[in-house]
Structure 1
């Protein structure tokens, strides 16, 4: 962790020192993850939990932010998150978490916003399933930790299937799945063949579809599983009642293997 980030943590823990206001969740070589509980619009507004991930290069790079609340809808949480990220992007590259929390305390969610977003909210609340194809996983432990963290922060669940093809099955709200895909392409998640840190720019979305009661069910957490053959891969999809999705992506997997072997 950078000296600036460490100093900021100490300041934040002293500012948000009330019961349950500040919580350090994780500190590792990947950075630091902590949570601040505050309220939209100040003390009278709905309670919100803000999770911040400070990368080791922070504040040169922006903090990761996730928003959750028992009193706001998913689309309202997404709105708050977008506002905070836009605010962060406009700030100088220096300690900024306290300013972001203050922005939350000055934010207003009006009744007009709720009515205007109702249709979008209904769409965003729908459950979706997406199957992603990853190019490689070399730094396995680091990569899997990031995937687990992102699925937790974005309230997604799924499977990581490791074999000839590396597949991620994600289930959850469509905006959260899109954010997961964006993180893969913008955060250095792995190392290349020369050992340099790299992003997952070769990731492909093989399929995405609404999750209905007849098309599958939510799994618990990100489960990592290895497979050695196509029947074992098929069985993993069958277990999730997603065999139709498997049959739809199989031609893409076959084509990808053929191209990669040339």
Structure 2
């Protein structure tokens, strides 16, 4: 059971350092790093550490630790206590994903508390002073203007990420497509659902946390039907690429997606054209490498 949960987490937390797990003696150690946005600090990383017994989930999690370099210890202890209480109530059931979501939820609630805001405001003031000092130094740098001009055509939008997903098949295409469209709207995501012969791709653009929540929803909810017509979950979804969104600006306009649509392509040239139209040429290589067994040859 632990292997199934770790496999699910690996689909969601797929960047280096986000998910690390190992076995040591009679326990399995799992580290999950999350990054939560905060108005006072921009964002901060929080490390969730879980120690699982080998017979988990029959026995509850042995130990839970929460660490963060940007939050005070008393706030971290509050989150840890909430997770420990929840772990006791869920004994005998898989709970890792629930604990991680509870950790995020607790962080968001703490952000709205006055005492935490005051603590982070002080840190933010100090950070701004450091940035102002750097700006003064850059003004004296004769190369600074040239560097800024060289980077003006490509802008990395803070908080926006883009994800490319492959689905193996759809038995109930109309139902499945409607679900994906509804979720993209609910999670405020734009992009394209691309069909090309047997190839099915989902290209999503939006807030990183919304993308991760979407992936959880997609992996855990019933979205299709099996060979007997019974509702079933998605077991063959692959995240091909997930990275910060670098938007190309042309004539002052962002060339990214403005909505979510399903698109039917008759050949791979049309799929390639979608990537080129939205200035996502770098995705073509990822797609061709990951789908080497899909005829005809890609790009």
TM-score (norm 1): 0.52
How far did residue 219 of structure 1 move? 1.2
Match of 1:110 in 2: 113
User: What displacement does 1:165 show?
Assistant: 1.1
The Cα shift of 1:201 comes to 1.6
Instruction: Give 1:132 deviation, angstroms.
Output: 0.2
Structure 2 residue aligned with 1:248: 286
Could you tell me how far 1:254 is from its partner in structure 2?
Answer: 2.1
Q: CA deviation at 1:217?
A: 3.6
CA separation of 1:124/1:88 partners in 2, compared to 1, >3 Å: closer, same or farther? farther
* 1:113 Cα offset (Å): 4.0
TM-superposed deviation, 1:130: 0.6
Provide the C-alpha distance between the structure 2 equivalents of 1:195 and 1:252, rounded to a whole number of angstroms: 30
Aligned partner (choices 215, 237, 261) of residue 203 of structure 1: 237
For residue 127 of structure 1, report the CA deviation from its aligned partner: 0.8
Instruction: Name which of 134, 139, 147 aligns with 2:172.
Output: 139
TM-fit CA distance, 1:256: 5.0
In 2 relative to 1, CA 214–141 (structure 1 residues): closer, same or farther, beyond 3 Å?
same
User: Which entry has the higher C-alpha Rg, 1 or 2?
Assistant: 2
Quote the Cα distance in structure 2 between the aligned partners of 1:203 and 1:149. Answer: 18
Q: How many residues align?
A: 162
Higher strand share: 2
- Report the counterpart of residue 182 of structure 2 in structure 1: 149
RMSD: 3.8
Change (3 A) 1:88 1:212: same
Uncovered stretches (5+) of structure 2, i.e. residues with no partner: 1-38, 44-78, 91-108, 128-155
SS in 1 for 2:285: helix
Cα 1:189–1:124 shift into 2, 3 Å: farther
Whether the aligned pair in 2 keeps the contact of 1:158 and 1:170 (CA below 8 Å) is: yes
Instruction: Give 1:118-129 correspondences, 5 Å limit.
Output: 126-129=159-162
C-alpha distance after superposition, 1:103-151 (max 9, x if no partner): xxxx6621454439989xxx99511111000111221221112111111
Q: Which of 223, 227, 237 is the equivalent residue of 1:189?
A: 223
CA pair 88-151 structure 1, distance change in 2 beyond 3 A: farther
* SS of alignment partner, residue 254 of structure 1: coil
Give the TM-score normalised by structure 2.
0.46
Deviation per residue, 1:173-227 (Å, 9 max, x gap): 1111111111111001001233221111210000111112239743122111011
Q: Which moved more, 1:150-159 or 1:243-252?
A: 243-252
Q: What 5-or-longer segments of structure 1 have no aligned partner?
A: 1-70, 76-82, 92-106
> Could you say if the C-alpha distance between residues 230 and 149 of structure 1 is closer, same or farther in structure 2, counting changes exceeding 3 Å?
same
The change in CA–CA distance for 1:214 and 1:124 in structure 2 (over 3 A counts) is: closer
Of the three residues 203, 207, 211, the one matched with 1:173 is 207
